[in-house]
Each structure stands twice: as structure tokens, then as C-alpha cells.
């Protein structure tokens, strides 16, 4: 009997073998081995190795100055954590702070001084040449102009560095300009007090009511932990938060009461609330009788607010009269804090809105009482200092040389506002920023400075701190050789030793604090505070501060001085009654749309962001960046737009192209666009500098760019 293999047998053998092999582990093991090859990808990061160290410092990225615990490996900071028990930040660190160490390597970092040549092109120059050029411009500005022809825009006023700026400017008859920050409006309250006023702070933690005019109260306003505390505390302990805001922000959505106010009508609402306080006698009669200078009489505050009846106010603001009365009565029931918010992108309220808002604090007797506006004791200063003003108060065309401090300000400003203050023919801008910043694209000269994690500085005092404090941003990274401290630049230009170093300044303040003998020092490694008196020498205090410690002052008794409810500025007083001339909400809806730019608290948009922040924007759209416009479905329908459509938003100054996002919580006739992050903010290799919302406002009248008349048109591809 012969053995023969037929075709069918052969196929059966092959097929059976294949099936059998597939059921065996062999092919899967093969796949496993092949999968290993995928490890051989083209790029492998070399993870840091070396001794592990832990150090404490403070964050210098915003006014909050949160306490940080920095873990370093081989001298490189590999993680940042909050400091539990820290008197100010209480363990909080925002997303930006967690990733802040990446700023040092940001692709948009400037690595050499650059100057705009005669052809308009920017080119690199040596530091020596840059300083010489700055010196020439300085001499020219001084010879050609009078008071204020030289100015420094200080993005973090209030530091000892700011005092050095002012001392240097005093020798030049220059002016020190405060950059826009969330604590800027409190200066308005100081101007309403008669006579010299101390530094003021908002005692949010002990307030019964917080009346926020668009401030990001629950998004990190003030000391980093404040918002978290307001959320975390039990209902019986925490203040009742009333958010007065047009945009459905995170704070508006999380507040106890959100008053969705018609755009730009905050002055009307504030005076409407005052109307109820006055007419129902809910104000602090004793304080008002003793200290108010302009309540009664012709043109007085009482006469002014009488015009703002709840019915009138409701017609303009879109908030019903019963709610206005309810809020006023709640406000008057105890200590309250009023915050005229500065939006990180939308900027401040108008001057009259700030005045009207703070008049409520004065009416309620909140200035000088716990849970309201409290005073901070000052540390004595020496020497002659130049005036400090706000940018809005600088005469147009008066500046011949503007030096812009490189600190992270936290708030973006329209380029047009800055340019308006410059002399049209001879105005020069010198930036000391470490980065390309959209607001400074027009700088004539850039001298790169250090980033916040590379340089020692003062952390600052947040708006909600009831007492003064001093914490240092102790460097956790080495500054590259191409960067230079701003005071060193001034020192080189001054060609003398009149400008002290930042370390000398900080040490001097530390010594003065030690000599004062007040307050306590928080030790972050132990999580506890000890009285300052236990520090035997000023060197002991300095070492504690360099170790990430925080000195906090004791509180000071403060009696509210005489004040003017309508402020001392005649122009603002005259504009207050004009608020009633605004159209009603019904009329508004028939008009063209308004653009309301806004910014994110930890990503204001005119500067770079650590790349990982892209997780919140383009990788998830948890937050919408400047490529998107949020609009209500009704308005979108009337204009012919649907979700995802491309639209062009036009104003008198230009246009931006955006993608439409529908949100039923947005007010009819309003479109919200974030001021950044711009496309290049995350350091991508292929950026495309797009127009930003802040390129659109003109800011002709009152240095306010919250509400911009605009048109929304379909983009034809």
C-alpha cells in the first residue's frame, strides 16, 4: 500500500498547522518581541540623575506669591508642590505655578539683545552696544523733554525693586508707572480718602458678603488659597459671594448669586445699590455723618443716587429690581468687601465704575473694619522717590523713553494704549522682558532679563492680605549668561553706583523689618510660625527668608479718615450721572454686537506659557483660547452662525477670525473672545502670530476696553 499525499491533504496540513499555531502562544510571543522594537523610537529623553534636594521658595509669576516646595534632582527642579500651612497660599499652587520651571527653556525666550534697525528689521547686538544705545536714548529724552519724559512701566509695583526704580527715576525727573494688576483698583479707594492713605487690603476671609464686579474671586484672586478656601469652607463660615459679571466665568457659575449684568453697566448697578442703602437708611450713619464730605447739598451723593431708582437700574442693567433690593440688604447686613475686578484680559472697570463701587464700601462703614478694607503698616523707606502713577494718568504723547520691566504682570493691555502715551516722533520703548511678548512686539530695543525662577526678588503682597508680608523668590535654577537683572541694566546706564543691587535692597528691607520687631516668621520646613523677636540678629531673619520663610506683620488699627463718596476727581464726578444715559437692555439687543475680551487668571495671554498648559487649551478645549468666540444661540441664529462656523469679528481698528462656540448662558448681542493664549504661547515650532482681541480696542476715552462695538461677519473661504 503506497503512501501518497494529495493536494487536499497538503492543504489540510497547512491549514491545520496555521490554525494550531494561531492557538499556540508562539505568534503572540513573536508579536510581543516585535513590540519591543517600538521602544527604539527616535528620541529618548535623558532623565535627570543625581542627589535629591528639597528647597522652599515663593512663586513670582503673579501677585499671589504662593509658597513653593521645590524638589530638585542633580540641581534641576523636577517637581513643585504647595506648602501646607503657608499663611498666604495655604498649600495652593495653580496650574501655571506647577509648570513654571519650564519658562526658563521656553522657545520664545530671547537669548541676546535685539534692536530694530532703520529698515525695520530686528537684529541682534551685543549687551555693551545695547546699554550704550539705551544711554544715548536716555540722554536724548532728558534733553528734549521735561517731567515724565523718561518712565518705567513696572509690572510688579510695590517691591523693593520698584523703590530702586523710583529712586533712579527721581534723579531723572521721570515717572514710575504702575503696571495693570488685580490690585490696581484699590488705589481708586485711596484717592477717595481725604489726606494720605496707608496701603490697603481686602479682608475677604472675614467678610460676610463679597460683592465682586467681575473679579475672579473663585479662580485664584489674591492669595492663591483664597478661592479654594471660599469653596471649601462650610456655608455658615464662608462669605456670600455675589458675582456681577456679564460673562459666564467660572466664578460666575460658582458664586452664590450671579447677576448677569448688561455689558458696561456696572456704574449704574453700583449706584442703584447705593440708592437702596441711602433711601432705606441701611448705611453706617455714624461714619457717614462724621466723615463723608459730599453726601448732602447740591450735586451731592444723595442727590446723585436718588436718580438711580431700582426700576431705572433694572431697565439698564437687565437685573430685576427685587434682586437689586435683595443684594443691597444682604450687603448692608454686615462687613462686606467690594472688589471692582480687573479682568486679566478685559482690563479694569471704568474709573467711574470703580468709584461707584467703592462708595458702597464707604457707605457701609467697611473701610477700617475687619471683614472689609483694612490698612497695612508700612516699613519705613529712605531717599527721594519719583512719583508713581497709573498708565491712564500719564499724558498722551509725553514719554520719550519708556523702559518696560520684565516681571510677569498677570494682566494684558492693548498695544494701542501703550503707544498713545509715547511721543509720536521720538518715543522709544526698551523692554527688559525675558520673552517675546505680543504687547512688546513694537519695542525698539530688547535686553533679555531673567525668568521668575532664576532671580531673587520679592514675592509681593496679595490684594486680600490684611497685613504686610515679605517672602522671597529664591532662585531654584541658574540664570543663563545672556540674561541680566533689570537693576544691573540701570546701573550700567547710570555709570555710577546709585542703583543698588537687588540683594542689597532685599537685605535692607529685611534688616528694617528685624529692627521693627513686629510680626512672625513662617518656617516652611516645619509648617509653623515663630515670633520675630526670637530672631536674635538680622542675619537670622535673612537666612530664614532665604530658606523660603515668610514674614507677616501684625495688624494695625485704622480709623477711616474723611472721604468723598464721589471721589476727588471732578471729571469722574461729572461722568457718574451720565451712566443713566445708557440704553435699556431692550434697546441694546437691536443694536450691533459688542465684543468683550477676557483673560484667564493664570494665562492672561500676552506672554508665553509652559507647553504643558496646552493640556487645558488646545488638547482638550477645557478653556477656549483666542481662536474661539462664545456667543448665545439666539444671537448666533440671528446672525446666521452655527456651532463651529468661522466668523470674522471687526472693529474700527481691525478684525480677527474665530470659530463660533454656542453657549446659552451668554448674553444676547455679546461675543466673548479670550485674550490668548496665542498660537505661539506654548512654544510650538511652527507658530503663526495671529491678531489678538487686544489689537482691536481703541481706548480713546477712558482707558477701558471691556466693551467694544463690533460686527460679526461670515468668513468666506
Site for another protein in 654-683 (CB under 8 A): 661, 663-665, 667, 679, 682-683
Chosen residue from 55, 613, 656, 675 binding another protein by CB under 8 A: 613
- Read off φ and ψ for residue 597, nearest 5 degrees: -70, 150
Strand, helix or coil for residue 681 = coil
Q: What is the dihedral of CA 460, 465, 467, 472, to 10 degrees?
A: -30
Counting contacts by CB under 8 A, is residue 345 touching another protein?
no
Closest to another protein by CB, 49 vs 526, is: 49
Chosen residue from 102, 213, 551, 705 binding another protein by CB under 8 A: 102
- Which listed range, 130-138, 217-225, 393-401, 409-417, lies at the site for another protein (CB under 8 A)? 217-225
Counting contacts by CB under 8 A, is residue 328 touching another protein?
no
Counting contacts by CB under 8 A, is residue 385 touching another protein?
no
Tell me how far apart the alpha carbons of residues 702 and 346 are, in angstroms, rounded to a whole number: 14
- Read off φ and ψ for residue 314, nearest 5 degrees: -60, -40
Closest distance between another protein and the C-beta of residue 717, in Å? 18
416 contact partners, CB below 8 Å, separation of at least 6? 653, 695, 697, 698, 699
CB 597 within 8 A of CB 653: no
Closest to another protein by CB, 189 vs 339, is: 339
Size of interface with another protein, in residues (CB under 8 A)? 77
**Which cell numbers hold the place of 661?**
462656540
Closest distance between another protein and the C-beta of residue 495, in Å? 35
Closest to another protein by CB, 99 vs 327, is: 99
Chosen residue from 140, 260, 419, 711 binding another protein by CB under 8 A: 260
Counting contacts by CB under 8 A, is residue 342 touching another protein?
no
- Which listed range, 39-47, 463-471, 547-555, 563-571, lies at the site for another protein (CB under 8 A)? 39-47
In angstroms, what CA-CA distances link 203 with 207, 362, 466, 702? 6, 15, 6, 29
Contacts with another protein, 572-611, as mask; x by CB under 8 A: ---------------------------------------x
Closest distance between another protein and the C-beta of residue 671, in Å? 15
Chosen residue from 164, 445, 616, 671 binding another protein by CB under 8 A: 616
CB 558 within 8 A of CB 375: yes
Count of CB atoms within 10 A of residue 435's CB? 24
Closest distance between another protein and the C-beta of residue 114, in Å? 20
Tell me how far apart the alpha carbons of residues 514 and 109 are, in angstroms, rounded to a whole number: 38
Instruction: State the Rg of the chain over Cα.
Output: 29
Chosen residue from 6, 7, 8, 41 binding another protein by CB under 8 A: 41
Chosen residue from 56, 92, 213, 551 binding another protein by CB under 8 A: 92
Between CA 388 and CA 456, with CA 502 as vertex, the angle to 5 degrees is 110
Q: Which has the closest alpha carbon to 474: 499, 500, 510? A: 510
Closest to another protein by CB, 39 vs 717, is: 39
Mutual orientation of helices 502-516 and 538-546 as an angle, nearest 10°?
120
Counting contacts by CB under 8 A, is residue 93 touching another protein?
yes
Counting contacts by CB under 8 A, is residue 54 touching another protein?
no
- Which listed range, 68-76, 182-190, 350-358, 511-519, lies at the site for another protein (CB under 8 A)? 68-76
Closest to another protein by CB, 231 vs 285, is: 231
- Which listed range, 219-227, 504-512, 514-522, 574-582, lies at the site for another protein (CB under 8 A)? 219-227
- Which listed range, 531-539, 546-554, 591-599, 614-622, lies at the site for another protein (CB under 8 A)? 614-622
Counting contacts by CB under 8 A, is residue 642 touching another protein?
no
110 contact partners, CB below 8 Å, separation of at least 6? 433, 434, 435, 436, 446, 448
Counting contacts by CB under 8 A, is residue 614 touching another protein?
yes
Interacting positions 106-165 with another protein (CB under 8 A): 106-107
CB 49 within 8 A of CB 63: no
Counting contacts by CB under 8 A, is residue 19 touching another protein?
no
Tell me how far apart the alpha carbons of residues 647 and 659 are, in angstroms, rounded to a whole number: 6
Closest to another protein by CB, 262 vs 576, is: 262
Length of the chain, in residues: 717
Mutual orientation of helices 266-279 and 351-363 as an angle, nearest 10°?
20
Q: Which has the closest alpha carbon to 208: 230, 233, 168, 239? A: 239
CB 402 within 8 A of CB 429: yes
Q: Which has the closest alpha carbon to 239: 354, 334, 366, 329? A: 334
Closest to another protein by CB, 3 vs 43, is: 43
Counting contacts by CB under 8 A, is residue 256 touching another protein?
no
Counting contacts by CB under 8 A, is residue 351 touching another protein?
no
Closest to another protein by CB, 102 vs 165, is: 102
Which helix or strand (DSSP H or E) is residue 53 part of? strand 52-58
Counting contacts by CB under 8 A, is residue 619 touching another protein?
yes
Counting contacts by CB under 8 A, is residue 612 touching another protein?
yes
Percent helix, strand, coil in the chain, to 5, is: 30, 20, 50
Interacting positions 224-243 with another protein (CB under 8 A): 224-225, 227-228, 231-232
Counting contacts by CB under 8 A, is residue 53 touching another protein?
no
Counting contacts by CB under 8 A, is residue 248 touching another protein?
yes
Counting contacts by CB under 8 A, is residue 10 touching another protein?
no
Sheet with 469-471: list strands edge to edge: 469-471, 550-552, 520-523, 528-531
Amino acid at each position: 500500500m503506497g503512501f501518497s499525499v494529495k493536494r487536499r491533504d497538503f492543504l489540510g496540513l497547512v491549514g491545520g498547522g496555521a490554525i494550531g499555531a494561531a492557538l499556540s502562544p508562539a505568534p503572540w510571543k513573536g508579536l510581543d518581541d516585535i513590540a519591543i522594537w517600538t521602544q527604539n523610537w527616535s528620541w529618548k529623553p535623558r532623565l535627570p540623575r543625581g542627589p535629591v534636594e528639597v528647597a522652599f521658595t515663593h512663586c513670582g509669576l503673579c501677585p499671589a506669591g504662593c509658597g513653593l516646595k521645590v524638589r530638585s534632582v542633580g540641581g534641576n527642579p523636577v517637581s513643585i508642590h504647595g506648602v501646607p500651612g503657608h499663611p498666604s497660599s495655604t498649600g495652593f499652587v495653580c496650574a501655571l505655578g506647577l509648570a513654571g520651571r519650564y519658562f526658563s527653556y521656553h522657545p520664545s525666550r530671547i537669548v541676546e539683545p535685539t534692536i530694530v534697525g532703520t529698515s525695520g528689521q530686528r537684529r541682534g547686538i551685543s549687551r555693551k552696544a545695547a546699554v550704550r544705545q539705551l544711554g544715548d536714548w536716555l540722554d536724548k529724552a532728558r534733553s528734549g523733554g521735561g517731567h515724565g519724559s523718561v518712565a518705567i512701566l513696572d509690572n510688579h509695583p510695590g517691591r523693593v525693586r520698584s523703590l530702586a526704580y523710583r529712586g533712579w527715576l527721581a534723579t531723572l525727573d521721570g515717572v514710575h508707572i504702575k503696571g495693570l494688576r488685580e490690585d490696581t483698583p484699590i488705589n481708586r479707594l485711596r484717592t477717595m480718602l481725604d489726606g494720605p492713605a496707608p496701603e490697603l487690603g481686602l479682608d475677604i476671609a472675614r467678610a460676610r458678603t463679597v460683592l465682586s464686579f467681575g473679579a475672579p474671586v473663585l479662580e485664584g484672586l489674591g492669595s492663591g488659597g483664597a478661592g479654594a478656601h471660599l469653596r471649601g469652607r462650610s456655608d455658615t463660615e464662608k462669605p456670600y459671594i455675589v458675582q456681577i459679571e456679564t460673562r459666564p466665568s467660572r466664578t460666575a457659575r460658582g458664586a452664590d448669586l450671579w447677576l448677569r449684568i448688561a455689558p458696561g453697566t456696572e456704574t449704574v448697578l453700583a449706584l442703584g445699590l447705593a440708592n437702596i442703602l441711602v433711601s432705606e437708611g441701611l448705611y453706617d450713619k455714624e461714619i457717614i455723618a462724621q466723615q463723608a464730605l459730599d453726601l448732602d447739598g447740591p450735586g451731592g451723593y444723595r442727590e446723585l443716587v436718588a436718580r438711580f431708582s431700582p426700576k431705572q437700574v433694572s431697565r439698564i442693567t437687565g437685573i430685576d429690581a427685587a434682586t437689586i433690593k435683595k443684594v443691597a440688604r444682604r450687603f448692608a447686613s454686615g462687613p462686606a468687601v467690594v472688589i471692582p475686578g480687573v479682568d486679566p484680559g478685559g482690563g479694569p472697570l471704568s474709573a467711574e465704575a470703580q468709584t461707584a463701587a467703592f462708595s458702597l464700601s464707604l457707605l457701609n462703614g467697611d473701610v477700617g473694619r475687619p471683614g472689609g478694607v483694612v490698612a497695612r503698616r508700612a516699613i519705613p523707606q529712605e531717599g527721594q522717590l519719583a512719583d508713581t502713577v497709573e498708565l491712564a494718568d500719564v499724558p498722551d504723547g509725553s514719554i520719550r523713553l519708556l523702559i518696560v520691566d520684565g516681571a510677569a504682570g498677570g494682566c494684558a493691555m492693548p498695544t494701542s494704549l501703550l503707544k498713545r502715551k509715547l511721543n509720536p516722533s521720538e518715543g522709544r520703548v526698551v523692554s527688559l522682558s525675558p520673552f517675546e511678548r505680543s504687547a512688546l512686539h513694537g519695542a525698539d530695543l530688547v535686553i533679555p532679563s531673567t525668568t521668575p525662577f532664576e532671580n531673587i526678588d520679592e514675592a509681593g503682597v496679595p490684594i486680600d492680605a490684611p497685613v504686610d508680608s515679605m517672602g522671597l523668590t529664591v532662585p531654584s535654577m541658574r540664570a543663563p549668561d545672556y540674561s541680566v537683572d533689570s537693576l544691573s541694566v540701570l546701573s550700567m546706564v547710570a555709570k555710577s553706583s546709585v542703583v543698588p543691587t537687588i540683594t542689597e535692597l532685599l537685605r535692607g528691607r529685611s534688616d528694617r523689618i528685624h529692627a521693627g520687631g513686629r510680626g512672625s516668621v513662617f518656617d516652611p520646613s516645619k509648617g509653623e510660625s515663630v515670633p520675630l523677636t526670637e530672631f536674635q540678629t538680622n542675619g537670622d531673619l535673612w537666612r530664614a527668608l532665604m530658606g523660603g520663610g515668610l514674614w507677616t506683620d501684625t495688624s494695625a488699627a485704622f480709623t477711616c479718615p474723611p472721604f468723598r463718596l464721589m471721589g476727588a476727581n471732578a471729571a469722574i464726578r461729572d461722568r457718574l450721572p451720565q451712566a443713566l444715559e445708557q440704553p435699556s437692555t431692550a434697546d441694546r439687543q437691536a443694536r450691533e454686537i459688542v465684543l468683550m475680551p477676557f483673560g484667564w487668571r493664570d494665562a492672561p495671554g500676552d506672554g508665553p506659557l509652559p507647553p504643558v498648559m496646552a493640556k487645558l487649551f488646545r488638547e482638550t478645549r477645557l478653556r477656549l483660547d483666542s481662536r474661539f468666540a462664545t456667543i448665545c444661540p439666539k444671537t448666533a441664529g440671528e446672525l446666521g452662525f452655527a456651532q463651529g462656523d468661522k466668523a470674522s469679528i471687526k472693529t474700527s481698528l481691525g478684525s480677527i477670525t474665530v470659530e463660533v462656540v454656542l453657549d446659552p448662558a451668554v448674553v444676547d448681542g455679546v461675543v466673548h473672545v479670550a485674550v490668548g493664549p496665542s498660537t505661539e504661547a506654548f512654544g510650538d515650532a511652527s507658530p503663526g502670530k495671529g491678531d489678538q482681541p487686544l489689537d482691536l480696542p481703541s481706548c480713546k476715552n477712558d482707558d477701558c476696553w471691556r466693551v467694544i462695538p463690533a460686527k460679526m461677519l461670515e468668513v468666506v473661504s
